[in-house]
Amino acid sequence: MGKVLLVILDGLGDRPINGKTPLSEAKTPNLNKLAEMGINGIMDTISPGIRPGSDTGHLSLLGYDPYKYYTGRGPIEAAGAGIDVKPGDVAFRVNFGTVKGEGKSVFDKIVVDRRAGRISETDPLEKAINEKVKLDIDFIFKRGSGHRGAFVLRGEKLSDKVGDTDPHKTGVKVKKCIPLEDRDDAKRTAEIVNSFMEQSHKILENHPLNKERERKGLLKANVTLLRGAGMCPHIPSFEEKHGMKLAVIAGTTLIKGIGKLLKGYVPDVEGATGSKNTNLENKVKEALKAIKSYDFVLLHIKATDEFSHDGDFEGKKKFIEKVDKAIEPMLNLDFGEVCLIITGDHSTPIKVRDHTGDPVPVIIVHEGVRVDDVNEFSELKAWKGGLCRIRGMDLFRISLDLVNKMEKFGA
């Protein structure tokens, strides 16, 4: 039976400006060749008009109904940061930030930077927090890349219905965590979080690394700003749910987190940064290696979305051209064995600078697909193809059907 290689360009789709999009304007001989070899269409990752997050979009593309399984970004980021999250854990995203001001309590202090001067060396801070903070409950604190991190509470009577301590702007006080429901578990969780906030602030304020930063004129990383509380869901692994082995090749913590949550193989690829400077060649190499031993390989490429968020038409166009070069080895895949899909997880139009519900183009190349007349990879042309308009969950099932892994419905 065959395998599926799903390539996702984050935020790929656009709304045309004077009839043009970065994808329609980019020179993409390899992607055009694949469009010509395959069947094309457009896809609503979740449903027409729904603006997908990258997380909900990817769940859908992996055959998990996001309305059933999505419980917020916290647990996914925590998994991506390398925490082995368990069902019932309450997870937060964390920023190391900088606060200043008088007063004993962290909640009297003013946030002056939400990224602590984009600090990168946070290993000793992570260690100090894990060693010295004492809570009534088990917790795991882990640094992520740069100023980021994750915080997980584990135990009974917890709730994810609590507010952020991150005020999401500077010049204001650190927020107290408040229960968002009038329930004992939410009140208790908020109290635990506030205790963590006070203790971690004291530890960080006096940490040698921060004293050193102060001497050098750098901002201290003296507060942990928490946001996006989510309770880790009971989510079946990819293998349990679909009977296939999953590999996820990605640079960003969020997508790696989805791979880890679904118990897939998620290698750290050299040079894969999840950003504009990523090493596309290495990622493609890793994906082509993984398809030899895994049934379903997701290759995620992030920067298309970043250029969109920056409103950079030229940058997005040029990056798509780089992707086109990097995926050239995929033209030599054995399409009797591998079903290759190229698509996006949502549109991020240059003018909007945020995700929209506009559908994205899809190519499927596999032996036996009904090849159509589309010979160019563009969201402005793909609708003419034989796939017409489908949803993300449909795409997942169509790919399984093509490689003869779909269960029969009925006798």
* Interface positions with Zn ion (CB under 5 A): 10, 54, 345
Q: Which residues pair with 110 in a beta bridge?
A: 100, 173
Sheet holding 246-249, edge to edge: 246-249, 296-301, 3-9, 338-344, 360-365, 39-44, 388-391
> In angstroms, what is the minimal distance from the CB of 360 to Zn ion?
10
- CA atoms of 49 and 65, how far apart (whole Å): 16
Distance, in Å, from the CA atom of 258 to the CA atom of 246, rounded to the nearest integer, reads 11
Q: How far is the CB of 239 from Zn ion (least distance, A)?
A: 25
Nearer to Zn ion, 160 or 345 (CB): 345
Between 143 and 302, CB nearer to Zn ion: 302
C-alpha 81/C-alpha 352 separation (Å) is 30
Q: Which H/E stretch holds residue 227?
A: strand 223-231
| Nearest-approach distance from CB 32 to Zn ion, in angstroms | 23
Distance of CA 54 to the CA centre of its chain: 6
Neighbouring-strand partners of residue 90: 153, 231
Q: How many residues belong to the chain?
A: 411
- Least CB distance to Zn ion at residue 54 (A): 3
Quick one: 166 or 306, whose CB is closer to Zn ion?
306
Q: In the 8-state DSSP scheme, what is residue 353?
A: T
User: What minimum distance in Å lies between the beta carbon of 393 and Zn ion?
Assistant: 17
Name the 3-class secondary structure at 231.
Answer: strand
- Label residue 146 left, alpha or beta by phi (over 0 means left) and psi (-120 to 50 means alpha): left
Q: Taking the complex as a whole, how short is the minimal distance between the CB of residue 53 and Zn ion, in angstroms?
A: 7
- Locate 332 and state its tokens: 């030599």
- Rank residues 15 and 289 by Cβ distance to Zn ion and give the closer one: 15
User: Which residue, 149 or 344, is less far from Zn ion as judged by CB?
Assistant: 344
Place of tokens 């969109």: 308
Which residue is closest to Zn ion by CB? 54
Q: How far is the CB of 9 from Zn ion (least distance, A)?
A: 9
Closer Cβ to Zn ion, 53 or 75, answer by number: 53
For Zn ion, the closer of residues 188 and 260 by Cβ is 260
Amino acid in position 354: D
